[in-house]
Chains A and B, each alone.
Chain A
Amino acid sequence: MHPTRARINPWQLAVLLIPGIGSTAVLGLPAITAAFARQDAWMAPLAALPASALVIWVCGRLAARFPEETFADYAPKVLGKLPGKLCGLLLFWYFFHLDAAIAREFADFLVATAHPRTPAALAAALGGLAAAVAVRHGPEILARLGELFTPIAAALLLAIVGLAYSSMDGSLLKPVLEHGLRPVLVSGFVTQAFTGQFVLLLVLLPSVNGVPAGVKASYGALAVIAAALVLVSVVSLSVFGPLTANFVWPFFKVARVGTFGAVLARIEPLVVGFWIGGTCLKLAVHLYAAVITFAYTLGLRHWRPLVFPMGALMVAYAIGHLNNLVEHHRMLAHFWPPYTQVFQLILPALVLLVAAVRGMGDRREQGPNEGGAIQDGKEARGHGAD
């Protein structure tokens, strides 16, 4: 089924995007931003807001120009066959690589916190399996999973914050802007690697009932994610202060220290459980995006048979492409932010610019038949083999 034939509503899109983007960022991001901005790290999500909003705007404009198509369908029309297909493949590569990074993070976190003797490959494979099963059910089911998951996860996050309240010390956040704005902007650039994942909209928006409402919901999701990240950073920083940068998952530590007298303590198993759920959801969303982009770039008619092989490849790449946790985190902090900008902002913006210049995607031209896209795909594959 073509993704444009699935129907999810804007609310579902928002609750799918929130865990689909925020779940890995919540636990680990404060450590990376604190390494750059120290006690001002909580401003990083705010610094990243404009660029992330720009990503949503670009995706929204593209979706408005080509309402019934995914990126892989219209890129060849805008840029010409070969460059368009190449762009589709680049976008696929981004989703695939990101998915592998998420799986890696998933496995590393589990091995480090709950399952020290479990091989990372097994953990990643299980996450990948659950994600692949979810993806095979289609985007509507994914969205409904988000609907069930997000409110409870949000409540848990607030509960952790509440429990940690007694350990917080506001003075650890001072002095504000000790080194000026530069470190904040650098950490905002890092954060943008996470919040810029709204490029998912290139794949998801065509499935949403009403593009403008979908874009609005995405801005809402961005606001929620940014607020959650600010909250998480503030809490982590005010509990651990300068130590925050030394942890890998500072917010998990926060959950560990949080208590409510003798009544409620040690809720970190809950955190691990929910984080597994949220990360599986994020894995699933990106796996879906990767599979859809791949299938429609190559002009395949059905994407479902690709899900399990793609998931297996993704897990293999996740385990194979980095040696250990340290490498992974160095990559996330230094290589990842500039690298992802290429796909999150530059690529869609380029397509949008060319489309605008060529005046494509006018009202009259909308909704070209799918068969044409598939035909194009076959020819382009022939070119690619030359």
Chain B
Amino acid sequence: MPNPLRSLFAWLKRRRPAFLRPSLDSRSVQRILQERLARSPEAVEKGNDVLTGVRIGRRLDANLSVIRQLVGDAPDLVVRELVIAGGAGSPSGARAAVVFFDTLSHAERAASQVIKPLLYDAVRDGVQVPADPQRLADWICTRMINTANVETRADLQQLVQDLCQGKTAVLVEGVDVAIVLDLVGYDTRNVEEPMGEPVVRGPRDGFVDSLQTNLSLIRRRIGSPLLRFDRMILGRWTQTPVVIAYIHGIADPDLVQEVRRRLSAIDVDGVIDTSYIEEFIEDTPYTVFPQVLNTERPDTVVANLLEGRVAILADGTPFALVVPTSLWALMNAAEDYYQRWDGTTLVRMLRYALVALVVLLPSSYVAATTFHPEMLPSTMLISIAAAREAVPFSSFTEVLLMEITFEALREAGVRLPRPIGQTIGIVGAIVIGEAAVSAQIVSAPVVIIVAFTGISSFVIPHFNVGIGFRIARFYILLLAGSLGLLGISIGLMLLILHLISLRSFGQPYLAPVSPMRWSELADIFVRLPRWLMRRRPEPVRAPTRRRRDFPAQETGTQGEGAVRASDQG
């Protein structure tokens, strides 16, 4: 069928009045649903399309059996059938059922706040249970149920969706809507200090894996009612709730619109972590530098919101994304803003100097010893020459060998369980460092340089930008080993050119430095005292729309499981 025609039909289907929609009351609808579910998995591939537009019926048994079938008779689905004690109107009482997943909801709260009122409070003297089904539903919502958040649902698909996200449903015989209550409760980590971004001074709470808690951590810090949370659902199968947070009035509306657009263009099977989102919304996919800031600190997110940026949070991960960002923001630690400005300024300078060393020190050593010995002071040259005398390799090979060893040690240290991790440290330091020098496989200066470079790479506050610089180090090293000083210069120039041409949601990556915006330099290399930073950073212009979006994840790859990343075609 041609595309416009199909969308027209879809539109008509969505728009038809309620009485035209199939209801669970009709046996044929039930049968079709059963058949569809019983068929091979490919037929269900399209997810919840099976259910589109189906209404909840009046007959309780039919509703319950369809729900049971839909979740495959899940052992954790609780269906508590009960009778709302009859008053004068209906002596036999109305049959009802409370449905929820006890893995996602509080069973005790369901018992005390829903089941108990319906069973016992309804039989007290003077309580009139309405006989009319429509009024019965209203009566239950307003009089009986003891929770804050009550909604009604007429759509089967929505109801099942809500159940799967931990809501509790009350279905009543003769009523064609379900009453949905929020009794969500499951175990999460406690709010604790984030491991990846510790501070000496400053707020100590970090995001946890639950979206609700994370939003509360943000909301608690921003008293203004203009804080906005835009909710959307991402992931075809995981149906992960994702929230775009910004402050209305500070954030550029175009930016918010573009974030929304890029997020809604994502079509993947699942969103397990915000890094899944990050890869889809980056401006330039082919680069080693991250263009989105990720943090698990609510205070960092709030500070960024106050500067007009937009945060993206997803359920199930403590990492929030912040866009747009710049290289300088990625080089700042949260603590920079909590310590005194003078100390922070010096620490920042140290950090930038060390990053320069990370990229340039090994390559400078290789270039100087291989191509330009005349550039070293003579005493230093002699001592280096003496140390290198017995070493069989060129200094490029030496440095490369040691750099790879260091990276291997680092990776092993991260992956190993903590008690064994220390062993790796000892093996690395003593066996490899000391033994390699005394066996004259590498010279002592190389060990010093590589160790120092390694330590320097850990001062970069954001791990992922550190990875970018570490990769850049190898690229410059390769050029230095083949072309000496010329290679370093040209390589560095191309690297800087690349950094300049990067954009994060349209904002230049090196923004307040290049292009220069004087008023914002107060928070880049130095941090001026807070009373001098009076201007909020302004976006240079509306973010550019990315030219194309990534293709959707392909369906029909059964057996391979989920296709993890879709190629850019």
Contacts and interface: CB of A to CB of B under 8 A. Distances in A.
B244 to A, nearest CB: 30
A272 B492 CA distance: 13
Interface size bracket, B side? 20 to 34
B375 A148 contact: no
B501 A114 contact: no
B500 A273 contact: no
B489 A277 contact: yes
B250 interface: no
A145 B516 CA distance: 11
B520 to A, nearest CB: 14
A137 B375 CA distance: 34
Interface string B491-502: 011101100110
Contacts of B516: 11-12, 147
Given A115-B371, A137-B501, A141-B501, A148 B489 contact: no
A176 interface: no
Given A115-B371, A144-B514, A266 B500 contact: no
A147 B513 contact: yes
Interface stretch (A27-35, A86-94, A125-133): A125-133
Nearest to B367: A269
B78 to A, nearest CB: 61
Interface in A118-154: 118, 123, 126-127, 129-130, 133-134, 137, 141, 143-145, 147-148
Given A11-B516, A114-B484, A145 B489 contact: no
Contacts, number: 85
Interface residues of A, number: 30
Contacts of B515: 9, 12, 143-144, 147
A112 to B, nearest CB: 13
B513 A273 contact: no
B485 A114 contact: yes
B526 interface: no
A126 B483 contact: yes
A197 B516 CA distance: 25
Contacts of B484: 114-115, 118
B419 interface: no
A12 B514 CA distance: 9
Contact of B485 (A127, A148, A265, A272): A272
B488 A130 contact: no
Interface in B358-373: 368, 371-372
Contact of A126 (B368, B372, B486): B486
Given A145-B500, A148-B500, A266 B493 contact: no
Given A115-B486, A134-B493, 15 more contacts: A114-B372, A115-B485, A130-B497, A137-B497, A137-B501, A144-B515, A145-B500, A145-B514, A147-B514, A147-B516, A265-B377, A266-B375, A272-B485, A272-B489, A276-B489
Interface of A: 9, 11-12, 110, 114-115, 118, 123, 126-127, 129-130, 133-134, 137, 141, 143-145, 147-148, 265-266, 268-269, 272-273, 276-277, 280
